[in-house]
């Protein structure tokens, strides 16, 4: 008999199904690299653990919820992969877990990242939440990730991003928010990014119509992708990033570019095709491409 209000039980043909974590075995594979040898160990048990010299843990059956007590990873493990069926992550589930490089939770059904979900993971380098259904990231969802460098939020349903959602990530230099529903990039929206390092930003395939002139004023941008949006202009501050090497502005509604853009000296790749650029701008771009010997992709209508 199931205790009331403690565990939700459903009886199906005499089988008890439960919503509580740890009630049913989880299947996963641990990969190891040791003394030049690569091995795989298949495990099935109620709690996910690790082994000496573990490289990664990958779940091989869907798990709907990660909740406290499901993980007991006490051996240093570089990566955790969950790529099917995940709908919810309970805040605190990663507390004291010895995963030191990255979480890869793409191709799941996550809708909300709750406060404290990714918190105090001081060694973690990368989080990949690509191909989910995330529309809400609560304030403090990512907190005190002092070594985090890469965050993938592409292919979700985000319409905006609260800067308080991501706190104390002083080394975060790569942010990918491609294929969401962003309409505007507002001031301080990305205040969590590294201030003293070159950053790589990607917002391709959104619905951007406006980038506020103060949004990126404090950053040293080295790569910038805002292709396939609805932008009619880009702020001067983007063109003032003297270390900018790669910029993709393709398939927007741009007719010209800021004058400062043509003074950039470190450009290596520029993509601007698919815009109704005027002939003067196209001429300047060709001249700049010749001077810098850079790769440039543009339309040749003039």
The average pLDDT across 49-75 equals: 95
| Domain end among 149, 172, 195 | 172
The average pLDDT across 220-246 equals: 94
What pLDDT does 22 receive? 61
With cut-offs at 50, 70 and 90, classify the pLDDT of residue 67.
very high
* pLDDT above 50 (res 232): yes
Residues 129 and 248 in one domain: no
Q: Per the domain annotation, does 7 fall within a domain?
A: no
pLDDT tens digits for 138-185? 999 999 999 999 999 999 999 999 999 999 999 999 999 999 999 999
Q: Per the domain annotation, does 1 fall within a domain?
A: no
The average pLDDT across 236-247 equals: 91
d(CA 7, CA 10): 10
Q: Per the domain annotation, does 127 fall within a domain?
A: yes
Lowest mean pLDDT across 19-28, 58-67, 236-245: 19-28
Residue 259 backbone zone (phi > 0: left; psi -120 to 50: alpha; other: beta): alpha
Q: Per the domain annotation, does 2 fall within a domain?
A: no
What pLDDT does 32 receive? 95
pLDDT tens digits for 97-144? 999 999 999 999 999 999 999 999 999 999 999 999 999 999 999 999
| Domain end among 172, 202, 222 | 172
CA distances in angstroms from 292 to 261, 266, 269, listed in the order given: 13, 8, 10
The average pLDDT across 83-104 equals: 96
Residues 99 and 233 in one domain: no
What is the average pLDDT value for the chain, to the nearest integer?
Answer: 91
What pLDDT does 240 receive? 84
Residues 277 and 188 in one domain: yes
pLDDT tens digits for 4-40? 333 333 333 332 222 336 678 999 999 998 888 999 9
Residues 131 and 232 in one domain: no
What pLDDT does 68 receive? 93
Q: Per the domain annotation, does 105 fall within a domain?
A: yes
With cut-offs at 50, 70 and 90, classify the pLDDT of residue 301.
confident
Residues 299 and 206 in one domain: yes
Q: Per the domain annotation, does 197 fall within a domain?
A: yes
Domain containing residue 216: CATH number = 3.80.10.10
Structure tokens at 59: 């779940």
For the chain, the domain total comes to 2
* pLDDT above 80 (res 300): no
| Domain end among 119, 140, 172 | 172
What pLDDT does 238 receive? 87
d(CA 208, CA 179): 11
Q: Taking Cα atoms as reference points, which of 84, 85, 94 lies closest to residue 114?
A: 94
Q: Per the domain annotation, does 10 fall within a domain?
A: no
Residues 164 and 188 in one domain: no
Residues 164 and 219 in one domain: no
- What range defines the domain where residue 198 resides? 184-302
């Amino acid at each position: 008999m199931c205790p009331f209000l403690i565990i939700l039980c459903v009886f199906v043909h005499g089988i008890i199904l439960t919503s509580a974590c740890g009630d049913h075995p989880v299947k996963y594979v641990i990969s190891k690299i040791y003394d030049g040898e690569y091995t795989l160990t298949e495990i099935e048990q109620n709690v996910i653990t690790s082994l000496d010299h573990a490289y990664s843990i990958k779940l091989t059956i869907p798990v709907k919820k990660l909740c406290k007590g499901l993980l007991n990873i006490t051996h240093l493990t570089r990566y955790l992969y969950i790529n099917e069926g995940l709908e919810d992550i309970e805040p605190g589930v990663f507390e004291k877990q010895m995963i030191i490089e990255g979480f890869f939770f793409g191709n799941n059904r996550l809708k909300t990242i709750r406060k404290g979900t990714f918190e105090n993971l001081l060694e973690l380098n990368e989080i990949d939440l690509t191909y989910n259904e995330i529309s809400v990231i609560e304030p403090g969802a990512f907190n005190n990730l002092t070594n985090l460098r890469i965050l993938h939020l592409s292919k979700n349903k985000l319409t905006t991003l609260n800067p308080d959602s991501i706190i104390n990530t002083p080394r975060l230099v790569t942010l990918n928010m491609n294929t969401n529903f962003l309409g505007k990039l507002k001031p301080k929206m990305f205040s969590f990014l590294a201030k003293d390092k070159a950053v790589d930003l990607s917002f391709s395939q959104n619905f951007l119509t406006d980038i506020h002139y103060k949004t990126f004023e404090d950053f040293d941008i080295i790569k910038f992708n805002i292709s396939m949006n609805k932008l009619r202009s880009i702020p001067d501050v983007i063109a003032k990033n003297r270390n900018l090497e790669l910029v993709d502005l393709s398939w927007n509604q741009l007719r010209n570019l800021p004058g400062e853009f043509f003074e950039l000296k470190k450009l290596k790749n520029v993509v601007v095709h698919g815009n109704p650029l005027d002939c003067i701008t196209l001429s300047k771009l060709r001249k700049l491409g010749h001077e810098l010997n850079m790769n440039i992709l543009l339309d040749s209508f003039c």
